[in-house]
A and B are shown apart, each in its own frame.
Chain A
């Protein structure tokens, strides 16, 4: 799948007004999103990287492909988990053993007191390639893919796939949908107290204690379309046409433009 997107920077004083404008444009109420994002870095497992000895037989095609994959670029990947405002600054559920046993599965967690259960956190793996270079079109286009992960602790599973946990942050924002275009107005929050942990947090601090990544509190407006088949020129063109249409519509409010390609580089050096 391919993702085509346009970006704009929104200063904090314009945020409220832009929310109103977008709500009017898309004829929907903003959907507030809070997402935990864990960053994983791929590493090369020892012993798999090279092929030693026995070079007399011809390399089979699939083996070649595997080698190419293993020796190719390494990427950072994100694991995204939606959370809600209730989950912040809460304690772990006391009756977790009961819930784990599946006796009272249907009972929504946190009806009595707000609690955040890391073991039941949903996760989605999101991969983004570095944006394509030398495209003639004025949108940022890159290869992307996403997959749903099992609930709970993902670090183990990710380790098994050759990724280790690097850091995590939080994204706060509002989502709008205009036909095929998703419009995400968001900003990045950091956890208080730095990145000394090397595992994802099992507890979330209070939301008001979160530290703004961009000190001025400004937001990023990302408008994106996901295209199923990136090799189909026609759909790619349609998608960028739609984005340009949106850019025209929003021209008086914000200026949507292509992002710097290297600033969206996801390759692990």
Chain B
């Protein structure tokens, strides 16, 4: 804008464009070359040839001279000569100037002798006394009438011409100002519209004349906080331009993809579809804000992913791979919003999509929460200044979400395990009381904290996750409880199962306590239920005992192996029962033993004559010919 700005009232010096230059030139040409009538092709050709020849001669001459005269001494001599010439000219000029100065000084010395004396040369002062020269105005001889007329006409024309030029310049300036005002009005109206929408408008710190809009997040990492300020420039026509500096104008977002069993089952959509073409300034500010948020999000995700590499998270240049649970894998990457129109995937499922969308929302909410925490930390009384700089801890973005996924996976696994085991027992007509499940039974924080509700809500999500399973077993007054802790934020990392049970019969039995492996948990629970079954069988007396007048009971000799022994009776051999419980079946086998105490094993055990291993499976639970465990036991 500044270069097209010309001050309309500056002195005019455009004399060359006067309309009478052409006649003058024509007269010149006529004088120099003769009339135009004599010009024809031959003459011109001759002229051209002549000129070329001359040029060629000159060149040849010069080159020849260069070749021959390129003697250093001669050149030097020439140089000295030229220099002397220049000096001579300069001296002469100086002398003439001094003469002129002396003359003027002498002339002035009549009027102001003191001042004139200073510029007089010493020689002149000696020779001529001060004030010896005077000047007077003489009336010029009267000019002829025609000359004065001419002069008047010329000056009049000259003046008119200047007035015209000045008027033009003024009109131009006026129209230019008009457009300028219009575009300024438009610019400021748009700035005002942006401000009225609630954006923060301020001067740029580096460039005091420019306005900027603050759309970033004050609590973001410094790099991204500083990028949250863009200047509002004015286009030629006054439209508002958002100058985002180095930020790519493309909208980008963090894409969450869920891979189940090696197939892509879900992918998150961009929060705001990129609009091309006519976008209002607010759309562009919003897009810039979103992009800066997404980039910060990805930056923080990568930082966190590096910190939790021990959980199997791998990072590449623009990709984070998180093995979430069993066969679920989550991929995070930063992509352009319009890149999402990939080839349609056939494996996309509703569940996968909702998981991906949920994860995408979770990490964004957690980043917003982290911003709030940053504000809180920033406004606390600062800790004492120390020479070492405090490192910024990684934000918790992936870990809570990952903990949730892992926790849910463990909870589902435990639920299915219990369902299987209870199903097996049910198929044998052993009715276990239902157990209670409290998923996410983390201790609720007291609502006395002054934090806003939403922060408390998110804060709970960051605490270690806990789910509890409580239930009763067949043994009277017996109970079990399993607590699943998942904690990825602070050591000890990972999931632990806290299995404890209360069996009055085996009071010296220790609860297994904290277990971190699924197989061990399964073994512990199965063992517990086996003990429970064994105890139930041994506590029920056999109905056939009334015939022999002796109370016959199965005695649990090795309950931990599931072995029971039938109390001795006169008529029968000792019998031994072996129960095995697994997730899939409950099997029972009867042996006849010869050993007196019944504890002997090995060759003196024989499978009972009428008993093949009897199994109960939940799949055939409905078959009517299946006797219940208790019936079977009592028949033996």
Chain A residues with CB under 8 Å of chain B are 1, 27-28, 31, 106, 108, 175, 177, 179-182, 225-229, 232, 234-235, 238-239
Assess the A177–B385 pair: CB atoms within 8 A: no
Q: Mark B367-388, 1 if CB is under 8 A from A, else 0.
A: 0000000010011111111110
Assess the B375–A235 pair: CB atoms within 8 A: no
> Is there a chain A Cβ closer than 8 Å to B448's Cβ?
yes
Chain A residues contacting B45 (CB-CB under 8 Å) are none
Question: Whole-angstrom distance from the CB of A110 to the nearest CB of chain B?
Answer: 12
Chain A residues contacting B378 (CB-CB under 8 Å) are 28, 177
With A27-B218, A106-B446, A108-B448 in contact, do A226 and B375 touch (Cβ < 8 Å)?
A: no
With A27-B218, A31-B379 in contact, do A226 and B385 touch (Cβ < 8 Å)?
A: yes
Question: Whole-angstrom distance from the CB of B386 to the nearest CB of chain A?
Answer: 5
Assess the B387–A179 pair: CB atoms within 8 A: no
Chain B residues contacting A27 (CB-CB under 8 Å) are 218
Complex Cα distance A226/B385, Å? 6
Interface size class of B (residues with CB under 8 A): 10 to 19
Chain B residues contacting A179 (CB-CB under 8 Å) are 382
> Which of B218, B381, B446 is A177 in contact with, Cβ under 8 Å?
B381
Q: Kindly report which residue of chain B lies nearest to residue A107, judged by CB atoms.
A: B448
Assess the A181–B375 pair: CB atoms within 8 A: no
Assess the A28–B384 pair: CB atoms within 8 A: no
Q: Kindly report which residue of chain B lies nearest to residue A28, judged by CB atoms.
A: B379
Question: Whole-angstrom distance from the CB of B299 to the nearest CB of chain A?
Answer: 21
Assess the B385–A180 pair: CB atoms within 8 A: yes
Chain B residues contacting A232 (CB-CB under 8 Å) are 387
Assess the B384–A226 pair: CB atoms within 8 A: yes
Q: Mark B210-221, 1 if CB is under 8 A from A, else 0.
A: 000000001000
With A28-B375, A106-B446 in contact, do A227 and B385 touch (Cβ < 8 Å)?
A: yes
Complex Cα distance A27/B228, Å? 15
Assess the A239–B381 pair: CB atoms within 8 A: no
Assess the A175–B381 pair: CB atoms within 8 A: yes
Please give 6 more A-B residue pairs, beta carbons under 8 A apart, in addition to A228-B384, A228-B385, A235-B387: A28-B378, A175-B381, A177-B378, A226-B382, A226-B383, A226-B384
> Which of B381, B384, B448 is A227 in contact with, Cβ under 8 Å?
B384
Complex Cα distance A238/B389, Å? 12
Complex Cα distance A50/B386, Å? 39
Question: Whole-angstrom distance from the CB of A5 to the nearest CB of chain B?
Answer: 13
Complex Cα distance A234/B386, Å? 10
Chain A residues contacting B218 (CB-CB under 8 Å) are 27
Complex Cα distance A232/B384, Å? 13
Question: Whole-angstrom distance from the CB of B443 to the nearest CB of chain A?
Answer: 13
Complex Cα distance A175/B378, Å? 12
What 8 A-B pairs come out closest when comparing CB atoms? A228-B384, A226-B384, A228-B386, A227-B385, A28-B379, A180-B382, A177-B379, A235-B387
Question: Whole-angstrom distance from the CB of A96 to the nearest CB of chain B?
Answer: 19
Assess the B381–A238 pair: CB atoms within 8 A: no
Assess the A225–B448 pair: CB atoms within 8 A: no
Query: Which B360-410 residues sit within 8 Å CB-CB of chain A?
Result: 375, 378-387
Complex Cα distance A108/B448, Å? 8
Assess the B382–A177 pair: CB atoms within 8 A: yes
Assess the A234–B382 pair: CB atoms within 8 A: no
Chain A residues contacting B383 (CB-CB under 8 Å) are 226
Chain B residues contacting A238 (CB-CB under 8 Å) are 385
Question: Whole-angstrom distance from the CB of B224 to the nearest CB of chain A?
Answer: 15
Assess the A181–B387 pair: CB atoms within 8 A: no
> Which of A106, A108, A181, A235 is B386 in contact with, Cβ under 8 Å?
A235
Q: Kindly report which residue of chain B lies nearest to residue A111, judged by CB atoms.
A: B448
> Which of B375, B385, B387 is A225 in contact with, Cβ under 8 Å?
B385
| Residue of B375, B379, B381, B387 with most chain A CB atoms under a 10 A cut-off | B379
Question: Whole-angstrom distance from the CB of A266 to the nearest CB of chain B?
Answer: 20
Complex Cα distance A28/B385, Å? 21
Complex Cα distance A175/B382, Å? 11
Question: Whole-angstrom distance from the CB of B435 to the nearest CB of chain A?
Answer: 31
Question: Whole-angstrom distance from the CB of A87 to the nearest CB of chain B?
Answer: 16
Assess the B380–A177 pair: CB atoms within 8 A: yes
Chain B residues contacting A234 (CB-CB under 8 Å) are 387
Complex Cα distance A225/B597, Å? 84
With A108-B448, A235-B387 in contact, do A181 and B379 touch (Cβ < 8 Å)?
A: no
Complex Cα distance A179/B379, Å? 9
Assess the B448–A181 pair: CB atoms within 8 A: no
Q: Kindly report which residue of chain B lies nearest to residue A227, judged by CB atoms.
A: B385
